[in-house]
Amino acid sequence: MYLFNRKKILLFFALIIIQASLTGCKNDNTDRNNKILHVSDLPEDKYDEYGWLKKEKYPINFNISGNSLSVIQPSHSKRLSDTKYLNISRNNIRDISQLTELESLEVLNASKNEINSLPPSISNMTNLSELNISFNHLTFIPSNIGNLQKLRNLKIRNNFIEELSGIENGNIDTLIADFNHIKKYHLLSLIKVILVFSP
């Protein structure tokens, strides 16, 4: 009975912290989200055949959500070499392997795309502190994601993930994983990780 009550108390406080965390994240990104670049509003000679802006270098904070992008070419990743915050959410992107070359990237929002899997090379993104890959078609998370020692915030909600492994090897503080099919996970501490599951 004591153990059951202790678990209920831990879950209660975890939910409170999650709500505060989500509210904080929303506030922190307000300015960035107000600077969305709508490529379709530009003259045709300003963007390439893949819908990306023609520019030698993309800015440090680059928000191109909701532009119907589907492909990331090597030429695009080269232009993103100095980018620290990248929002490519609400597009039709299936593959983000080209982005794993971006060692300077700290925050990546790739939610609401058509991504089926994360490439093993994601472990190359050594400065990544926040990854939002929610609302995609993922069935698993690469176990080497735990090698990203700076990753603190991982959002993988609304996918088809059945098992979590490797995450416990990293330094993740916040894990939002509701609306998946997770049945198996490996010794994740409630003290270290805020874990949200839905049936």
The answer, yes or no, to whether residue 9 has pLDDT greater than 50, is: no
Task: State pTM to two decimals.
Answer: 0.78
Hey, what are 102's tokens?
């971006």
- pLDDT score recorded for residue 28: 39
- Percent above pLDDT 70 for the chain: 71
pLDDT band of 171, cuts 50, 70, 90: confident
pLDDT band of 163, cuts 50, 70, 90: confident
pLDDT in tens, 89-146: 999 999 999 999 999 999 999 999 999 999 999 999 999 999 999 999 999 999 899 8
Cβ atoms of 77 and 98 within 8 Å: the answer is: yes
CA distance 175 to 197: 10
- pLDDT score recorded for residue 123: 93
Query: For the CA atoms of the chain, what is the radius of gyration?
Result: 18
Write down the mean pLDDT value for the chain.
80
- pLDDT score recorded for residue 181: 87
CA distance 10 to 5: 9
Cβ atoms of 165 and 186 within 8 Å: the answer is: yes
The answer, yes or no, to whether residue 62 has pLDDT greater than 50, is: yes
User: What DSSP string describes the chain?
Assistant: -HHHHHHHHHHHHHHHHHHHHHHHHHHHTHHHHTT---GGGS-GGGB-TTS-B--SS--SEEE-TTS------HHHHHHTTT-SEEE--SS-----GGGGG-TT--EEE--SS------GGGGG-TT--EEE--SS--S---GGGGG-TT--EEE--SS---EE-SGGGS--SEEE--SS---EE----TTT-EEE---
